[in-house]
Structure 1
């Protein structure tokens, strides 16, 4: 089942409605969002466990969730 606003808030906490819309637009599931959130917050630990790098919708969500670095 695809993400809803309620799903996004349950995983991430309160976030901007426009950001929620971007996440929902990916067509991802709650499980995929949860996996992406785990990668964003502890990628080194997950790689240490031997998990493969995210792909597909999880990778797309990681790109949206990862903090954007400002260019100098």
Structure 2
């Protein structure tokens, strides 16, 4: 299911309209956004859990949320 503006705000908190639009344009789900947020805020913990590297949409979200971050 595609996420809504409210889903994004629930994960990120207040954010600018441009970022909201860019995130919505990815077609990602709210779960993918939560996964991207988790990678940005604790990727070492996720890797030590044996989780696979982020998929394409999650990686795109990571790039939007933290353009300086290199994934993969």
Give the TM-score of the pair, scaled to structure 2.
0.88
| 1:43 equivalent in alignment to 2:62 | no
1:67 Cα shift? 5.0
Over aligned residues, Cα RMSD in angstroms?
1.3
1:57 is paired with a residue whose SS is helix
Are 1:27 and 2:27 matched, yes or no? yes
Counterpart of 2:60 in structure 1 is 60
Structure 2 equivalent of residue 3 of structure 1: 3
- Superposed CA deviations along residues 9-39 of structure 1, whole A, max 9, x for unmatched, are 0111000011000000000000000001000
| 5+ residue gaps, structure 2 | none
Name the CA distance, whole Å, in 2 between partners of 1:52 and 1:66.
20
Whose Rg is larger? 1
Q: Which runs of 4+ in 1 moved over 2 A?
A: none
**Alpha-carbon distance, 1:4 to partner:** 1.3
